[in-house]
């Protein structure tokens, strides 16, 4: 397949390729212009990702890396999960990316969205669930309207993750987890969601790209919310550990992009120990 859309005349495609390969294209102010152009013209998802030329760069970057890993390990299908769906803006984007990445890589990608459907459940009762920023019932979903917009690729799982995640792991029909977007913000919901990586019978790639939506900003810290849930999983679990995605800014066109700080990786240490 052509790397730049086939409807663009050949000489322009050739020129565009040469230009994109130069240092000049990656210099300000050209990179902003290139990003704008790549966000509207039909180019491969890998190129869109490299230039942050998409609505949710962390979703696309994580998904692509899951697909590359699946190809490398000869895994035919993966699951991409969004924890915290609300009105479905993120889930619809994840679905769109999954479809494009599947088309380009051949890795079958099922999408799962977890939400109560009624907004936040009761908070845990202290600072750990950020009552300064979140309330029970906040972010309710119009479930019927969202279901109408989702394709058969995506499964919406309604219920509190304290229950729905153990059910999901027990029902082992889904492909191994390849990518997780976690947008719960509270400690207790994130803790319960992360069980998808630690419960007996869990199915995951050896390295699962993850993005966390609520770790950067004045109010977020390591003693509450998503960061506390990550630390707790790491302290209690010997087989799977979540760590920041080290060196992620290298080779990026926009190495200063804030979303890069939200990217983590869940490493399946047990599987890595057995790797050939």
Ligand X SMILES: C[S@@+](CC[C@H](N)C(=O)[O-])C[C@H]1O[C@@H](n2cnc3c(N)ncnc32)[C@H](O)[C@@H]1O
Residues that bind ligand X (CB under 6 A): 82, 84-87, 89-90, 114-116, 119-121, 139, 160-161, 183-184, 186, 189, 192
Nearer to ligand X, 44 or 121 (CB): 121
Q: How far is the CB of 113 from ligand X (least distance, A)?
A: 8
Q: How far is the CB of 123 from ligand X (least distance, A)?
A: 9
Count of Cβ atoms closer than 10 Å to residue 149 Cβ: 11
Q: How far is the CB of 117 from ligand X (least distance, A)?
A: 7
Give kind and range of the element (H or E) at residue 46. helix 45-50
Nearer to ligand X, 4 or 233 (CB): 233
Q: At what angle do helices 89-105 and 57-72 cross, to 10 degrees?
A: 30
Nearer to ligand X, 184 or 212 (CB): 184
Apex 154 CA angle, 146 and 147, nearest 5: 20
Q: How far is the CB of 191 from ligand X (least distance, A)?
A: 9
Give kind and range of the element (H or E) at residue 49. helix 45-50
Cα separation, 162 vs 115, whole angstroms: 11
Q: Which residue minimizes CB distance to ligand X?
A: 90
Give 234's contacts (C-beta < 8 A, 6+ positions apart). 241, 242, 243
Nearer to ligand X, 119 or 166 (CB): 119
Give kind and range of the element (H or E) at residue 155. strand 154-158
Q: How far is the CB of 148 from ligand X (least distance, A)?
A: 17
Nearer to ligand X, 4 or 229 (CB): 229
Give 75's contacts (C-beta < 8 A, 6+ positions apart). 69, 107, 175, 176, 178, 205
CA atoms within 13 A on the CB side of 202: 22
Cα separation, 85 vs 142, whole angstroms: 11
Q: 261: closest CA among 248, 276, 275, 272?
A: 248
Q: How far is the CB of 1 from ligand X (least distance, A)?
A: 30
Nearer to ligand X, 161 or 196 (CB): 161
Nearer to ligand X, 30 or 127 (CB): 127
Cα separation, 197 vs 177, whole angstroms: 8
Q: How far is the CB of 130 from ligand X (least distance, A)?
A: 11
């Amino acid at each position: 397949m052509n790397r730049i859309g086939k409807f663009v005349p050949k000489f322009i495609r050739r020129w565009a390729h040469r230009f994109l390969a130069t240092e000049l294209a990656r210099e300000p102010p050209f990179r902003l212009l290139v990003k704008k152009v790549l966000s509207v013209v039909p180019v491969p998802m890998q190129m869109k990702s490299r230039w942050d030329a998409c609505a949710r760069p962390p979703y696309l970057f994580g998904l692509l890396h899951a697909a590359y890993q699946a190809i490398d390990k000869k895994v035919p299908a993966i699951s991409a999960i969004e924890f915290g769906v609300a009105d479905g803006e993120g889930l619809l984007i994840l679905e769109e990316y999954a479809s494009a990445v599947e088309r380009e890589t051949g890795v079958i990608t099922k999408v799962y969205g977890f939400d109560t459907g009624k907004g936040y459940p009761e908070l845990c009762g202290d600072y750990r669930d950020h009552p300064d920023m979140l309330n029970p019932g906040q972010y309710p979903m119009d479930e019927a309207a969202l279901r109408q917009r989702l394709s058969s690729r995506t499964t919406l799982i309604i219920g509190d993750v304290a229950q729905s995640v153990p059910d999901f792991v027990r029902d082992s029909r889904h492909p191994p987890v390849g990518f997780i977007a976690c947008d719960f913000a509270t400690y207790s919901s994130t803790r319960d969601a992360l069980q998808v990586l630690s419960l007996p019978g869990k199915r995951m790639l050896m390295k699962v790209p993850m993005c966390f939506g609520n770790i950067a900003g004045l109010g977020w810290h390591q003693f509450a919310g998503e960061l506390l849930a990550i630390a707790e999983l790491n302290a209690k679990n010997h087989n799977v550990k979540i760590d920041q995605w080290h060196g992620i800014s290298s080779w990026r066109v926009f190495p200063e992009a804030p979303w890069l700080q939200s990217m983590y990786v869940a490493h399946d240490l047990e599987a890595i120990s057995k790797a050939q």
